[in-house]
Structure 1
């Protein structure tokens, strides 16, 4: 498994690179995890409804091919993309979602934060506030897209949308929970837990 730390990169070229990687991979292509941050952008999933974009706050909106509704990416949020061959890992999509959520829950538990899943609403929550969002695309048995964890960012753009299609959904970040990590550090910490979880699934 190759872990690539791409730093702060524009959204659309990164999405294109994920599509290209997935389209050109063979059964022998090593899986990759990409850790990134993005400049401000709203992304609208395949079944995303435009009415969940409440206000135009001057942030670009990109319609993309993952599951889920609308979310926000911006500096101070770590985004981890999982480019995995699910057939080879012998892991089903539902199991992958659970694996990702568990990695976030475990990463936060290391800092004494009790996070949880909400049934029927993918992602990870602290109380009733969402801290991590999740959206995947599966093509030819391979995944791309992934998850985002709010670390130390301006959360105000979330007020311009119904996050993940839920009106009034509160969002929270690790900084608000007294977790002293930068987005980069949080990405490394979360990636370690993702690798452990995937190893457990595969093992």
Structure 2
């Protein structure tokens, strides 16, 4: 299996989601899988089961309802977003395993930089020393997925103080910069793409 990797730069949230939905709904059995790597302007997104009370303070940052799973999170410049547009039926494993492999890809990226990270069964995402550094959320339609992950690289974390991130009050938030990793976000994107490809696509039929 292979996939097409697209680097989209800074892209507005709603048109990007609309494009993902269009691609997902028009897929054919032989449609190539894709990985979109990008950043968003400041945006709060609220998942399908998202509770508005997790927005603790009204600001000028737009709050957008979206079809992914999960509660509220924040996107902004300096955060690397990876959208996975995959035919899950071709992978040979289910959505739970896909999420685990997404988490593992971020863990592997951090391990390359000497950082020990881990996932949590009770709260999907990737954590370093108790602080969340990456969030995950997918949407499945017709056996295919879209949405994906967000890795904090070098961004203003202040807007996370105005929400309960992913529905968890007082959740500490971290980023690569605060861990002493000063890689440009484009380089982080290239490294993440390699780890995702290895864990999700190239080893699709191999149990981990």
Partner SS state of residue 204, structure 2:
helix
Which structure 1 segments of 5+ residues have no match? none
What CA distance in whole angstroms lies between the structure 2 residues aligned with 1:168 and 1:60? 22
- Which of the numbers 101, 104, 113 marks the counterpart of 2:103? 101
Out of 63, 67, 89, the position equivalent to 1:61 is 63
Runs of 4+ in 1 over 3 A off after TM superposition: none
1:79 to 69, 78, 81: 81
What is residue 46 of structure 1 aligned with on the other side?
48
Compute the displacement of 1:126 (Å): 0.2
Conserved? CA contact 1:76–1:182, under 8 Å: no
Taking structure 2 as the reference length, what is the TM-score of the superposition? 0.96
**Contact 1:48–1:68 (CA<8 Å) still a contact in 2?**
yes
The separation in 1 between residues aligned to 2:42 and 2:126, in whole angstroms, is 21
Counting matched residue pairs gives 203
1:18 alignment partner in structure 2: 20
Determine helix, strand or coil for the equivalent of 2:191. Answer: helix
* Residues 69-124 of structure 1 deviation map (CA, whole Å, 9 limit, x = unaligned): 00000000000000000101122000100000000000000000000112210000
TM, length-normalised to structure 1: 0.98
Query: How far apart are residue 57 of structure 1 and its match?
Result: 1.8
Q: Equivalent of 2:32, from 30, 33, 40?
A: 30
Question: Cα RMSD (Å) of the superposition?
Answer: 0.7
